[in-house]
Chains A and B, each alone.
Chain A
Amino acid sequence: MRKAPLLEAMGLTRRYAMRRGFLGRPVEVRAVDGVSLTLERGRTLGLVGESGCGKSTTGRLVLGLEMPDAGSVAFEGQPMPAPGTPPWRAMRARMQMVFQDPLGALDRRMAIGAQIAEPLEIHGIGARRAERMERVAALLRDVGLRPDQAVRYPHELSGGQRQRAVLARALATDPALLVCDEPISALDVSIQAQVMNLLVELQSRLGTAILFVSHDLRAVRQVSHRVAVMYLGRIVEEGEPDAVLHDPAHPYAQALVSAIPHPGRGQRRILLQGDPPNPADRPSGCAFHPRCPVAVAICAKEDPMLKPRPGDGRRVACHVAQGEVPAPSVGRSAAGLNRPAQISKAA
């Protein structure tokens, strides 16, 4: 149809003022610091990282729930209107969100059928009540619930059923984009797989594009067509899920991947040293260098760009992975670093 991708975000930046201590001056915290991403119709982009890395904020910026301090979001080639304005509200029919906590996302005083019908009422879909009720019944079937469960209240459903109801509500207007913010982390492990499968199945049927925000690498690998790894508000690596998650190029991505337990397989596990990231106190140069096992002198000075790596075209923001500097031999302290990095062996 159109040339423009479904979603294109350029240089998104979101700052918050944070006060430290009793008499502290407000410190500017960059929750998201220059994130660019593109999402094609019907595809899934997985966004992974530790909690606090800015991935959820990125999801909210992409949806236009918050205004970026810098950068822009274009949806179907159109710029994102300001939150709360009528065009912004109208746009909600095209993009929806699935939340981490389905119980919190549902109004506990309303039957789920009425809640699923709400986006239809808001956006004037279905002229008559009966028409809308039919659509609600169809949606319930789509997400694996029974139409007679429409009269149930959220507390009468299980966690997995609630998330299905949330999904049904999000899909009611047939949106082109779905942002899923940790959609399975509040669910029992046994339910997680079902919801994941449902997402994949619905996507193949409805052609919805999904931005899948999660800290769960395996879940991301299962649903994503592309994966982006975030650290301290920036994307540090982006590529095909198989490439990024089997053979990560960025040292941080390597550490993340090595932390996935593989039963019965002895594996080198990279233990990250140093403090967990604090966005209020961003290190100079590459933000990851104090914890990086392969950091060299330049990493503390120069900020690496996210750019395609010369060999395989994967996008990485790392001096070492880009081959700009030789990697130091493993296990030795890098000169000029305060904290020596270690790689230890874990069974």
Chain B
Amino acid sequence: MSGIALPIGLVDGRKRRRRWPLLVLAAMAWLGLMLGIAVLADAVAPYAYTALDLRNRLAAPGATWLHPLGTDELGRDVLSRLIFSIRMSLLIAFGATIIGALIGTALGVLAAHFRGFVEQVVMALVDFSASLPFLILALAVLAFFGNSLTLFICLLGLHAWERYARIARGLVISAGAQGYAAAVRQLGASPWRIYGRHVLPNIASTLIVSMTLAFPEIILLESGLSFLGLGVQPPETSLGAMVGYGREYLTRAPWILLSPAVVIVLTTFSVSVLGDWLRDRLDPTLH
């Protein structure tokens, strides 16, 4: 929709887009910082995230130079816990986003390739997925299957699969109708070559944009579930879990939950900004 002049002073989008990069740069910088922290957590954290300092319990930020972001009810260093929480939350979000993209894309491509019965089954699953709020499904599955980290990541990976499936199916079908796929097929290429070398690279940008849209949702889901006590279990910690446990001390020690809350908001905001920007740049057809 860029570049279409509209009446009543609806200016085209380019002017505005030039302003984005500043914000985009800030978002990238923040995400870079988060990634760096996640990778180097062991090196940058001043303490282990389970280390107790019983003499400095519920210390306010700045109250003692030992704990710049304060401590919690057991005297654990909030900064250290925050750093390890960032690592955990990003690990889960990355893992789940990639799982969702892989499963969804694979099923979408299968549906488009085989059509007929396979497609009906996939689309019925998509309908089913879309018909229930994911949180409800996740709650049921999690509480009944217990709570290993692997299961948790896989479960969150199911979050947006139906979106990728829908997009991939539509794009593959239209690619097949478009000629280049048909042309390669009639060269004698195997399905692997057609999809791997031609179709997927052509639809990748749209799928990547979808991933940037799903990523913040997964962070929010993870933190929501951990907040309810049904996600990451102690002694492990994540951003949502920190907020959940910090809630008990909302009146006495709000800093316990404020710092992870700020990190959640800034991170999801940054990914959203980046995703919008990518979408405008890579894929004007997706909205």
Where the two chains meet, the residues of A that have a C-beta atom closer than 8 Å to any C-beta of B are 63, 65, 84, 89-93, 96-97, 99, 101, 104-110, 118-119, 122-123, 166, 169
**B183 CB to nearest chain A CB (Å):** 4
Bound: A110/B193 CA distance, A: 14
Cβ–Cβ < 8 Å partners of B188 in chain A? 89-93, 119, 122-123
Name B173-189 residues within 8 Å CB distance of A: 178-180, 182-184, 186-189
Per the 8 Å Cβ criterion, residues 148-182 of B in contact with A are 178-180, 182
What is the distance, in angstroms, from B203's C-beta to the closest C-beta of chain A? 10
Query: 0/1 per residue, B197-210, Cβ < 8 Å to A?
Result: 01001100000000
Cross-chain pairs A/B with CB under 8 angstroms, 11 sampled = A65-B182, A89-B189, A91-B188, A92-B186, A99-B179, A105-B182, A106-B180, A107-B202, A118-B187, A118-B189, A122-B193
Total contacts A-B at CB 8 Å = 51
In the bound complex, residues from chain B placing their C-beta under 8 Å from that of A119 are 187-188
**A106:B186 contact, CB within 8 angstroms:** no
Please tell me if B120 contacts chain A, counting CB pairs below 8 Å: no
B233 at interface, CB cutoff 8 A: no
Asked if B147 CB lies within 8 Å of chain A CBs, one says no
Q: B190 within 8 Å of A by Cβ?
A: yes
Complex contacts, A96 vs chain B, CB 8 Å: 186-187
- Asked if A122 meets B187 with Cβ closer than 8 Å, knowing A104-B178, A105-B180, the reply is yes
Supposing A99-B179, A101-B179, A122-B193 touch, asked if A107 and B184 sit within 8 A by C-beta, the answer is yes
User: Which residues of chain B have C-beta atoms less than 8 A from A166's C-beta?
Assistant: 183
- Chain B: interface secondary structure? helix
Q: How far is the CA of A93 from the CA of B187 in the complex (A)?
A: 7
Q: How far is the CB of A345 from chain B (nearest CB, A)?
A: 43
Give the distance to chain A from B189, nearest Cβ to Cβ, in Å.
5
Residues of A within 8 A of B179 (CB): 99, 101, 104-105
Please determine whether A63 and B186 come into contact, CB atoms closer than 8 angstroms: yes
**In-complex Cβ contact of B187 among A101, A108, A110, A169 (8 A):** A169
Rounded to whole angstroms, the CA-CA distance of A99 and B178 in the bound complex is 11
Contact of B180 among A91, A104, A122 (CB under 8 A): A104
Chain A residues in 8 Å Cβ range of B182: 65, 105
Q: How far is the CA of A104 from the CA of B178 in the complex (A)?
A: 6
Chain A residues in 8 Å Cβ range of B186: 63, 65, 92, 96-97
Closest to A89 in B: B188
Contact B187 A92 (CB under 8 A): yes
Residue of B nearest to A119 (CB): B187
Residue of B nearest to A118 (CB): B187
- Contact A109 B183, beta carbon cutoff 8 Å: no
Q: In the bound complex, do residue B189 and residue A107 qualify as a contact, i.e. CB atoms below 8 Å apart?
A: no
Q: Compute how far the CA of A166 lies from the CA of B184 in the bound complex, rounded to whole angstroms.
A: 11
- Residue of chain A at shortest CB distance from B193: A122
In the complex, A259→B180 CA distance in Å? 34
Closest beta carbon of chain A to B97's beta carbon, Å = 24
Residue of A nearest to B179 (CB): A104
Contact check, A109 vs B202: say whether CB atoms are below 8 A apart. yes
Q: How far is the CB of A220 from chain B (nearest CB, A)?
A: 23
Cβ-defined partner of A122 (8 Å) among B183, B189, B202 = B189
Q: Which residues of B contact A122 (CB under 8 A)?
A: 187-190, 193
- A92–B190 alpha-carbon span in the complex (Å): 11
For B198, the chain A residues whose CB sits under 8 A away are: 107, 110
Distance between B35 CB and nearest chain A CB, rounded to angstroms: 28
Q: Closest approach, in angstroms, between the C-beta of B114 and any C-beta of chain A? A: 11
A108 touches B180 (CB 8 A): yes
Q: Are A118 and B184 in contact (CB under 8 A)?
A: yes
How many angstroms from the CA of A54 to the CA of B35 in the assembled complex?
59
- The answer for the CA separation of A109 and B198 in the assembled complex, in Å, is 8
- Contact, CB under 8 Å: A109 / B201: yes
Q: Please, which residue of chain A has its CB at the minimum distance from the CB of B178?
A: A104
> Can you name 13 extra interface pairs (CB under 8 A) apart from A104-B180, A106-B183, A109-B201?
A63-B186, A65-B186, A84-B191, A90-B188, A91-B188, A97-B183, A99-B179, A99-B183, A104-B179, A107-B184, A107-B202, A108-B180, A122-B187
